[in-house]
Amino acid sequence: MKPLIILDFDGVLFDSVTEVYQVCEHLAKDDSLLRDGLLFDEFLAFRSQLTDAWQFSRLYQKNRILHDITYLPQVVPDDEDWAFADKFFSTRAELIKDLNWAKRMSPYPFFYQLRPFLLDYPDKFKILSTRNRESIERTLEFFDVSGIEIFSQKDIREHGSKVEVVKHLGLLHSGNYVIYIDDMKSHLEPFESTIDICIHAGWGYGDTQEGSYTQEQAFNIVSAVLNLSKE
């Protein structure tokens, strides 16, 4: 058995909501078309429905505010949404120049539990995230983790979805025993009939549901699979 653990980043390894909020607020303060000074509680409620950075345009653009966030998954992005996303990532690229930037990222206990495996078996893990690659690399480097292959927002935009990225890489037909962990059910669902184990992270930004896993439960599954592969 060759285990392959595919990990989402935000809401699984790190609680990054404060960093994302600061990026959005920094972007908004210099643009008269965007809301400035958004309350963190409103931002957090919106974040619970969000699966990609472009969707923040429907929270911040004054003439396009989506007041009922339950409709967010049904919104199809247009040119304005993608333009907002580009500004979002360019704003983050400026903020990330701060040497202390990674301190805004808060590791979950799951990350600390998993870290010894990430260090010892980096080839058995991949990160699949709508976040941009540089910010993921910077965060992992800050916590002394390296060698994990990363597939990011650019890859997902190129191929259309997370599951399409994985299919393009040929990871589903390589003899691997694949586990995928994500806090968003909408990202997990396309994987449910194609991989061995889907784990809905009940500790992230998505709604906790029946069948969601705790951090301890998720770690126990991953560690058991990795330890069995050594026997």
More confident residue, 169 or 172: 169
The verdict on 130 and 84 lying in the same domain is no
Final residue of a structural domain among 62, 85, 101: 101
The verdict on 11 and 48 lying in the same domain is no
Of 223, 8, 48, 3, give the one whose Cα is nearest residue 130: 8
175 falls in which pLDDT band (50, 70, 90)? confident
Helices 17-28 and 40-47 pack at an angle, to 10 degrees, of 120
Centroid of chain to Cα 218 = 17
Report which DSSP code applies to 189: G
pLDDT of residue 204: 86
pLDDT of residue 98: 93
Report which DSSP code applies to 4: E
- Decide the pairing of beta strands 197-200 and 14-15: unpaired
The verdict on 199 and 164 lying in the same domain is yes
The answer to whether residue 231 scores a pLDDT higher than 70 is no
Q: What average pLDDT score do residues 78-92 get?
A: 95
Answer whether 213's CB lies under 8 Å from 200's CB.
Answer: yes
The verdict on 50 and 128 lying in the same domain is no
Centroid of chain to Cα 21 = 15
Residues of the domain holding 42:
17-101
The verdict on 109 and 216 lying in the same domain is yes
pLDDT of residue 49: 84
pLDDT of residue 82: 94
**Which of the residue ranges 58-72, 132-146, 202-216 would you say has the lowest mean pLDDT?**
202-216
The answer to whether residue 43 scores a pLDDT higher than 80 is yes
Could you give the CA distance from residue 126 to residue 129 in angstroms, rounded to a whole number? 10
More confident residue, 1 or 226: 226
How many domains does one find in the chain?
2
The verdict on 123 and 210 lying in the same domain is yes
The verdict on 157 and 212 lying in the same domain is yes
Q: What average pLDDT score do residues 214-220 get?
A: 97
The answer to whether residue 69 scores a pLDDT higher than 70 is yes
Enter the pTM of the model: 0.92
The verdict on 10 and 64 lying in the same domain is no
Answer whether 201's CB lies under 8 Å from 218's CB.
Answer: yes
CATH of the domain at 201: 3.40.50.1000
The answer to whether residue 209 scores a pLDDT higher than 90 is no
The verdict on 215 and 161 lying in the same domain is yes
The verdict on 73 and 149 lying in the same domain is no
Beta bridge partners of 62: none
